Amino acid sequence: MRHAHPVAEIRAAEAALMAQLPEGALMQRAARGLATAVLDLLGGAYGRRVVLLVGPGDNGGDALWAGAMLARRGVGVEAWLLAERPHAEGLAALRAAGGRLTRGHRDLPTAQRPDVVLDGIVGIGGRPGLRDDAVAALAALDGVPIVAVDVPSGIDVDTGELTGSHVRAAVTVTFGTHRIAHLVDPAAEACGVVHLVDIGLAPVLPPAGVEALQAADVAALLPLPGGFAHKYTRGVVGVRAGSAQYPGAGLLCVGGAACGLAGMVRYVGDSAVADRVREAHPEIVGAGRVQAWVVGSGGGDTAADELAAARADGVPLVVDADALAHVSGALGVPAVLTPHAGELAAMTGADRTDIEARMLHHARAAAERYDAVVLLKGRHTLIAAPDGRVRVTTTGTPWLATAGAGDVLGGVIGALLAAGLDPFDAAGVGSWVHGAAATRAAAGGPIVAGDVARALPVVLRELLGESAA
């Protein structure tokens, strides 16, 4: 599990840990991890050049101390000081190691351009946006890969929002725990690859409100059949999806539900779609009792009636696509709502652009408003619970942006609900597996939604095989 904490909790944990350590020990741990990551990126030390962009406070101190360690290894290090009072001890260490110091920035001849820039302008205590001198320094180094210290300077650390000029990093090296912006878009995209350095912070951190499942977590949550299991004890998922206008949605939703996680899949809907479903999936049966419903994918004009019928059963629901337009409040049963930004905008009256810019805010607000788990689709999909907890899905591929992929996702989540997972776990596990299946199916090239459905059992077998090993 990757955990992410807000700034206030990180500050409190750092203070508690520093009280147990000699003065400066925590910064030394961070600087060593940072310097090691930079050396890995450089592929060596001698003949390499690094420019440090140094702001005030501990973030600039981390950069200076790491610069000193790099200089002692033979890296040519120059610090551009963008603060009146940079970290005194770090500055002295860099001087002693032979690093060069420059006030502000300078134009560099091509032969002197660095291999890497270390962004130590502002850390987790900084406000969104950058000052003009920092913008000018970055412009002078345009095209050079940037390693951000803790976070890319200028992003909103606790919200994942981007409200001004900011650094776009190739790599971000952070310490102790992830920051929320490392996981939540749009800021997460500006972080590049995030490398976490263990500085001993975990024992003094509270439980995280934002997290991202990893393969081992997903494997541990997957519902497994017992020795005396039968198809009904493993869960029966019902699908009310597809229509004469959108028959493929019913097929794809059933394809996701029939991934093997539930013991039985029932299809209820347009008779012509039902015939096509049974032709493609002979194991699918018709109406009867279920433990969960998936409603809305390609439902068209019948979506409202299908949602009402599913609600009347009193079992957990996955509400997708056309059915989302008929959700006006709490549904009265455990539910997962699966909108993209446009659908959530239609539901709430918020502006789509604002939803995409403030995904964490809108996902949490919608979960509270509808008293349901809200899965807000995106590059990093957010799964928000009504109590404020959030999971971020980081699996997937840009090729997953294809028609019908969401229908498959709804079916997978429905199967997990029927098999006994609660809505938060079902949405998180389903989204992770769906993204992993897309990545496997794509293998670097284009896919369609059916490819994702077909890859699901393969990914599930791999997960279970790894957990057994």
380 annotated as a binding-site residue: yes
150 annotated as a binding-site residue: yes
379 annotated as a binding-site residue: yes
377 annotated as a binding-site residue: yes
59 annotated as a binding-site residue: yes
CA atoms within 13 A on the CB side of 466: 14
125 annotated as a binding-site residue: yes
250 annotated as a binding-site residue: no
Amino acid occupying residue 459: V
322 annotated as a binding-site residue: no
362 annotated as a binding-site residue: no
All residues at 6 or more sequence positions from 457 whose CB lies less than 8 Å from its CB, including other chains: 259, 260
249 annotated as a binding-site residue: yes
| The token pair that represents 268 in the structure block | 């209820």
200 annotated as a binding-site residue: no
Q: Which of 84, 197, 194 is nearest to 131 (CA)?
A: 84
The one-character DSSP state at 388 is S
3-state secondary structure of 396: coil
121 annotated as a binding-site residue: no
Instruction: Please give the angle made by the CA atoms of 386, 421 and 367, to the nearest 5 degrees.
Output: 15
153 annotated as a binding-site residue: yes
Place of tokens 């093997």: 260
311 annotated as a binding-site residue: no
314 annotated as a binding-site residue: no
58 annotated as a binding-site residue: yes
Q: In angstroms, rounded to a whole number, what is the distance separating the alpha carbons of residues 37 and 53?
A: 17
Would you give the end-to-end CA distance of the chain in angstroms? Answer: 19
The one-character DSSP state at 285 is B
60 annotated as a binding-site residue: yes
Are 261 and 460 a contacting pair, CB within 8 Å? yes
332 annotated as a binding-site residue: no
124 annotated as a binding-site residue: yes
61 annotated as a binding-site residue: yes
All residues at 6 or more sequence positions from 389 whose CB lies less than 8 Å from its CB, including other chains: 209, 210, 424
Are 348 and 369 a contacting pair, CB within 8 Å? yes
3 annotated as a binding-site residue: no
43 annotated as a binding-site residue: no
Residues annotated in a binding site for (6S)-NADPHX: 58-62, 123-129, 150, 249, 298, 340, 407
Residues annotated in a binding site for AMP: 377-381, 406
Residues annotated in a binding site: 58-62, 119, 123-129, 150, 153, 249, 298, 340, 377-381, 406-407
Residues annotated in a binding site for K(+): 59, 119, 153
